[in-house]
A and B are shown apart, each in its own frame.
Chain A
C-alpha cells in the first residue's frame, strides 16, 4: 500500500504544452510538498501546502500552479512547458510536530518530465 503516490511516472511532452502531475498520500499528513530534481541531481523545494493552504512558494515561475483539493492531494499543473522544466518532480508529505520535532518527509517515487 503506497504511502505517497504520484502519477504519471513518466511524462514526455512538447514545448508549449500544459500538463499536470498528481500526488496523493494516505498517511493522514497535514503538509505536502513538491520538489524538483534537475539533471545535476540537486533537489530543490518548490511548494508546500499545509491543510490545503499554500505556505511555501520558493520563487517558482507562475507557469507552475499547485492545487490542493483536500489535504491528501497536491497536484502540480504546469503551463507553457519549457525545455528547462525537464526534471524529476517529487511529491512528499509530513506531519509537522508541536515544538521541536518535525516528522520525517515521505516521498513519492517521482515523475520524470521530459520536454522536447
Chain B
C-alpha cells in the first residue's frame, strides 16, 4: 500500500511547465515527501524531497500544501528527456512505490 495517489498519466508540450499532483491525505507529521522518476530502461532516480516548506533544486520544485495532504512536483520547462514515470512517496520505514504518473512530453 503506497498510501499516495497520483494520476496514471499526464501530457505536456515541450518547454511548457508541468505540474504533477500527489495526494497523501494520511501522511504523518514526520513523514517526508519524496519524488523519484524512472526513465525508460533505467532504475528510479531521486528528484526532490520536502517536509513542510516548498523546495527547489536544479531538477524541479516541490510545492507542499499547508495541510500536507497533497503536494505538486513542478517541472518548470519540460523537455523530451523528462518523459518518465514520476513517483511520489511518503517517507517511511519501508519505501513503498505506487504506480506513479507516466509523463508524456510532446515536441
Residues of A within 8 A of B (CB): 4, 33, 35, 41-45, 48, 56, 58, 90, 92, 94, 99-102, 104-110
* Most interface-central of A43, A94, A106, A110 (chain B CB within 10 A): A43
- Choice from B30, B46, B85, B87 contacting A106 with Cβ under 8 Å: B46
Please count how many residues in chain B sit with their CB below 8 Å of the partner chain's CB atoms.
23
In the complex the two chains form, what is the Cα distance from A78 to B91 in whole Å? 29
Identify which of residues 7-59 in chain B touch chain A, using a CB-to-CB cut-off of 8 Å. 30-32, 34, 36, 38, 41-46, 49, 51
Give the residue name and chain of the B residue nearest to A58 (CB).
Answer: B94
Number of A-B contacts (CB under 8 A): 56
Known: A99-B30, A110-B41. 20 other contacts (CB 8 A): A35-B97, A42-B97, A42-B99, A43-B38, A45-B95, A45-B97, A48-B94, A56-B93, A56-B94, A100-B32, A101-B32, A102-B34, A102-B95, A104-B46, A105-B95, A106-B46, A107-B44, A107-B45, A108-B43, A109-B42
